[in-house]
Amino acid sequence: MPFFIVQGDITEMQVDAIVNAANNSLLGGGGVDGCIHRAAGPELLKECASLNGCDTGDAKITGAYRLPCKHVIHTVGPIWRDGKHGEENLLTSCYERSLQLAVDNNCSSVAFPLISAGVYGYPKDQALRVASETIVGFLKDHELEIYLVIYNKSDFIPDRQRFEELGLLLDSEMASAALARAPIQQLDEALNHLDESFSQMLLRKIDEKGLTDVACYKKANLDRKLFSRIRSDAAYHPSKPTVAALILSLELTLDEAKEMLAKAGFALSRSNAFDVIIEYFITKRIYDVYEVNKALFCYDQRLLGSK
């Protein structure tokens, strides 16, 4: 199942479980901890008080009371010192323990804040990297819908160098090369020799790449239902983000990508930020959908993947 980065207030997320960036006492505090307790009501504090605290890197689960979710998973992130006191391992453990608790409690969706990236001072770009890597790693062996909720866009500091490069590309005006094709002379001739369809090209490429269907849709951040629909219904028209996600999953060249997009009725335009971002990553041969989603999130574009 997919992993999405969204901007918003985690207390409003309608998922099975939200994760709280708590402290060892579990008795509330500021930041997201304060928001969650305020929104949940006093019963949450009462239940937390019965848990006898929580170790850093560990997680405990409670009810959600007045929140629009079923559970709150309280985890305690490391306080950043200098990166040489096991901070990364402890932060990774927060995500892993919280995800395991979500699975153990039959949750199908979970939302995280950027743990330790506030009061606890973890450098935001590193906090984002640890969160993404741990979540993506967990999704290799589990089916779960996971959201990383960014409260303030300024908290979202990804790999700056890459995004500056991308920013330059987005600002520059470049003409797009039109897909030049020979004009159609005979309509019936053309209709009798239709090109390969989108789904036929998709299946051919999956075979050529030696991928399984599962590997293909997981790499594309798509869920199984959508993929099987694309695979089985030749008349199904996927969205552009879905086609882009499959292009990255298949690691196509730019020409192959343009061909696959055209078969689904789309083209890459230099006047469209989404298209420029997709073309940039394909040109750089960076096919990690989660990396691309960070750039799309940064520029307020639709993310790749499906719910």
Residues with active-site annotation: 33
> Which of 77, 158, 238, 305 lies at the binding interface for ligand APR (CB under 6 A)?
77
Contact between 19 and ligand APR by CB under 6 A: the answer reads no
Contact between 42 and ligand APR by CB under 6 A: the answer reads no
Q: Which stretch binds ligand APR (CB under 6 A): 150-158, 169-177, 206-214, 266-274?
A: 150-158
- Looking at the DSSP bridge assignments, the partners of residue 110 are 17, 146
What are the φ and ψ backbone dihedral angles of 157, each rounded to 5 degrees?
A: -115, 85
Looking at beta carbons only, is 19 or 278 nearer to ligand APR? 19
> Which of 62, 93, 109, 116 lies at the binding interface for ligand APR (CB under 6 A)?
116
Looking at beta carbons only, is 30 or 265 nearer to ligand APR? 30
Residue 278 · residue 250 · CB < 8 Å: no
User: For the chain, give me the number of helices (H) and strands (E)?
Assistant: 13, 6
> Which of 3, 4, 95, 120 lies at the binding interface for ligand APR (CB under 6 A)?
120
> Which of 4, 11, 99, 138 lies at the binding interface for ligand APR (CB under 6 A)?
11
Nearest distance from residue 125's CB to ligand APR, in Å? 12
Contact between 113 and ligand APR by CB under 6 A: the answer reads yes
State both tokens at 298.
Answer: 């940064």
Strands in the chain per DSSP E: 3-7, 17-22, 59-63, 71-76, 109-112, 145-150
Using alpha carbons only, give the angle 272, 274, 137 rounded to the nearest 5 degrees. 170
Q: What DSSP character marks residue 197?
A: P
End-to-end CA distance of the chain: 7
Contact between 137 and ligand APR by CB under 6 A: the answer reads no
Contact between 21 and ligand APR by CB under 6 A: the answer reads yes
State both tokens at 217.
Answer: 């849709």
Contact between 149 and ligand APR by CB under 6 A: the answer reads yes
What are the φ and ψ backbone dihedral angles of 76, each rounded to 5 degrees?
A: -115, 115
Q: Which stretch of DSSP H or E encloses residue 138?
A: helix 124-139
Residue 280 · residue 166 · CB < 8 Å: yes
> Which of 7, 14, 108, 152 lies at the binding interface for ligand APR (CB under 6 A)?
152
> Which of 19, 23, 59, 305 lies at the binding interface for ligand APR (CB under 6 A)?
23
Q: Which stretch binds ligand APR (CB under 6 A): 108-116, 203-211, 226-234, 244-252?
A: 108-116
Q: Provide the binding-site residues for ligand APR, judged by CB under 6 A.
A: 9-11, 21-23, 29-35, 77, 113-120, 149, 151-152, 155
